[in-house]
Chains A and B, each alone.
Chain A
Amino acid sequence: MDENLAPGALAGQMAPTGALQHAYVQNEPAVSLPPPASMVGVIGWLRANLLSSPGNIALTIIAALIAFWLIPGFIKFLITDAVWSGADREACITKNGITPGACWAFVRDRYSFFIYGFYPFDQRWRVDLFFVLGALGVTWMLWLGAPRRDIGLFYFIIALPLVSYGLLSGNNPFGFVSFAPQWLKATACLLVFLFAYLMNQSDDSKGALGFMTLFGFIISGVLLAENAWSLLKLSPVETSKWGGLMVTLVVAGVGIVASLPLGILLALGRRSKLPVVKFFSVMFIEFVRGVPLITVLFMANTMLPLFMPDGWHVDKLLRALVGIYMAEVVRAGLQALPKGQYEGAMAVGLGYWQMMRLIILPQALKVTIPNIVNTYIGLFKDTSLLLIVGIFDFLKAIETARIDPQWAAPTTSPTGYAFAAIVYFIFCYGMASYARATERRLSVADKR
């Protein structure tokens, strides 16, 4: 560096004198040398990330030692010493003074109970179909390159919940229309055709007629769906028979999908200038925030039945859903929206909803993504509290299975819990990774 700089500086001083042509003045930029070997590649990475200061060196050594002590034990227990197959506890008990590692044979034997719970054996294809439809919906929503994401949104928010409910419970998700008398249905269908005909005549595709036609199509669509569904003749499965991973995903899914819109509304209500709206939003948020989920569940389970009239019982799963929903929803809504852009938006002349939709919410949501994902991960893990209500969620299913004397062995419980930890980790890590990617994508603007 010095060598290059000195002639340059000299040249700068000399230049005004003009006539002097120095052979050592460099007219082209110097070829930049590659960084020293110690700064790049594996060694550079190690130096920068692990060995950058004496403190870090010490931490690195400690961490390496801990890993060295723990990891072989884990691998030995979970993989090399593990029992992979067997019919009952004989496979996993201590023989000749040697206790084998993880009893995966137990997990294999009880696998279907962990996933389906008490769901009737011959109906489990419905749960499988629900998993497939759910995975399709999630992929459609989360994969940015997916085609027709507008249809995907409709599918995810409206079609999927209805179909899943119908599929899992066996009830007709459109059954609410069956209360309507036949003549009403017939009239509704007639009106649709009438409006469609009129619209065809008048070319009024955006006005009142267009709206009425759309409305009519929705009604007749629902009627059609109701009839089509009743042809499937699915046998009803009470929620008391739901269990395992399926119920964990249902509850987490309902909580996650339903909590965001309500959370946004509550957050907006909190910022509202209307005193009544503001008061109720704040009261709701603060009340729910002040009460732990576990308390809500206890209340719902122990006190609620006492207040209900005789013979009336709120479905257990519903109790739990309301509990989780209320408590977690609001936490998503708690994220404060930044104030900065309000005046700007108003100055441009936007109305309240325009301002919220175009200026405030997009920024606010971006800011709160880490918090929202935190909430979702927390919500997913909170589903394990369902056992308070006597619902056999994934964790409770494992806990119950490990009691069975058929598999009573020293390593049965650790294996069950290890399996639970792995499954929870996969789901939570998946959510966190996606959130990190989204955050990075949305923060591109901030980097400039």
Chain B
Amino acid sequence: MKKLLMSVAVGAAVVLAAGAASAQTTTLNQVKARGTLQCGSNTGLAGFGLPDAQGVWAGLDVDLCRAMSAAIFNDPTKVKFVPLSSKDRFTALQSGEVDVLVRNTTWTMSRDTSLGLEFGPVNYYDGQGFMVRKKLKIASAMELSGASVCTQQGTTTELNLADFFRANKLKYEVVTFATSDETIKAYDAGRCDAFTTDASGLYSERLRLTAPDDHIVLPEIISKEPLGPATRHGDNQWFDIVKWTHYAMLTAEELGVTKANVDEMMKSTNPDVKRLLGTEGKFGEAIGLPNDWGYRIIKHVGNYGESFERNVGMGSRLKVARGVNALWTKGGLQYAPPIR
């Protein structure tokens, strides 16, 4: 019932917003006129969006917003981050309070079709994983039969867990807690054999344990959680900008263009690099931006690999392996259509 009401309310809002938007200028023009990009962000998630000691936002999702700001304004700081709870995030996007939502939002069919949203490219392939103690000598989730598993109450995590064990005909005992803090404390205290949450979260939770090195993250990922940016239906130019910002960062990684060597690369004769950095062709114009949009993104923010390593990868404290988030050339899923 609650869900139905919510859908009706959101649906009504979409109709109203769409009606109003058609008479309005494009999102890009609004952003330019305002002078800042309004970016819906998480209220705090390690590696994806978190303020540092000076109150400056940093993270993988944050970098995508900064890249868009760099492409539009040639300045990565012209972003206003609007921290949104998971309840508020879609309303905020629908009502135009934010221009783009980059808040580790899982792309699902129902969200894509019934909320009036466009989901952009996946900037992080997440999925639920397990963490166990090393001394259990378990190398795979398939060996978890009879284990007790700590998880947070009322989340999709709990449902995925049930699905996984049922599908593999394994016995298990679930121990649930209201908050993530309690859950990790209980696991640390030995209340259960395994701890489960999204893989990106496993790494940051592991750091809270009394002896992080005594625990390992198992290789199995039991659910699909493609996280990516979302925009409103009906403004295709804006959607293109979101998509191609991410693709430019991927392309740069593929071509070996980094924040450090981008100025040098401007002299490159490689046609792919020339098209990315805008020394050849008019690809920026096609999305309403200057032709050096790609150069600006790499210059100010860096390529996808750099952003990944800096925020969640080996350059950060989380030490998340690239895994499925590696480029397609390295066996991962990150694949950008060619710029041509």
Contact = CB atoms under 8 A, between A and B. Distances in A.
B9 A113 contact: no
A238 B209 CA distance: 38
B207 A408 contact: yes
A94 B214 CA distance: 12
A117 B316 CA distance: 23
A112 B43 contact: no
A302 B83 CA distance: 14
A323 to B, nearest CB: 15
Interface stretch (B47-55, B134-142, B266-274, B302-310): B47-55
A439 interface: no
Interface stretch (A149-157, A249-257, A261-269, A396-404): A396-404
A309 interface: yes
Contacts of A308: 95
Contacts of B30: 311
A305 B90 CA distance: 11
Given A112-B54, A404-B50, A302 B91 contact: yes
A403 B46 CA distance: 6
Interface in A380-413: 387-388, 390, 392, 396, 399-401, 403-406, 408-410, 412-413
Contact of A400 (B13, B44, B87, B95): B44
Contact of B210 (A99, A313, A405): A99
Contacts of B329: none
B330 to A, nearest CB: 25
A110 B188 CA distance: 26
B83 A392 contact: yes
Interface residues of B, number: 47
A390 B85 contact: yes
A240 B317 contact: no
B53 A109 contact: yes
A405 B47 contact: yes
B98 to A, nearest CB: 10
A301 B88 contact: yes
Given A306-B95, A309-B20, A410 B44 contact: no
B20 A305 contact: no
B211 interface: yes
B317 A406 contact: yes
Contacts of B91: 302, 305-306
A110 B53 contact: yes
Interface string B84-118: 11011001101111000000000000000000000
B86 to A, nearest CB: 11
Secondary structure of the A side of the interface?
Answer: helix
A410 B210 contact: yes
A121 interface: yes
Contacts of B216: none
A405 B209 contact: no
Contacts of A410: 188, 208-210
A67 to B, nearest CB: 26
B9 A405 contact: no
Contact of B9 (A97, A306, A409): A306
A400 B43 contact: yes
B220 interface: no
B181 A118 contact: no
Contact of A399 (B44, B81, B84): B44
B161 to A, nearest CB: 23
Interface in A296-330: 301-303, 305-306, 308-311, 313
B44 A113 contact: no
Contacts of A278: none
A119 interface: yes
Contacts of B84: 390
Interface string A73-104: 00000000000000001000110010100000
Nearest to A301: B88
Contacts of A399: 44
A147 B91 CA distance: 52
A117 B51 CA distance: 9
Interface string B31-74: 00000000000011111001111111000000000000000000
A229 interface: no
B80 interface: yes
B209 to A, nearest CB: 7
B82 interface: yes
B88 A94 contact: no
A126 to B, nearest CB: 15
A173 interface: no
Contact of A117 (B16, B44, B55, B95): B55
A216 interface: no
B46 A305 contact: no
A303 B181 CA distance: 30
Contacts of A112: 53-55
Nearest to B94: A306
A408 B24 contact: no
Contacts of A392: 51, 83
B188 to A, nearest CB: 7
A113 B188 CA distance: 29
Interface string A108-126: 0110110011110100000
Contacts of A404: 46, 50, 52
B94 A390 contact: no
Interface of B: 9, 12-13, 16-17, 20-21, 24, 30, 43-47, 50-56, 80-85, 87-88, 91-92, 94-97, 181, 188, 204, 207-212, 316-318
**What are the nearest 3 A-B pairs in CB distance?**
A408-B207, A305-B95, A310-B20
11 contacts: A89-B317, A113-B53, A118-B56, A303-B9, A396-B43, A400-B43, A403-B46, A403-B204, A405-B317, A408-B317, A409-B208
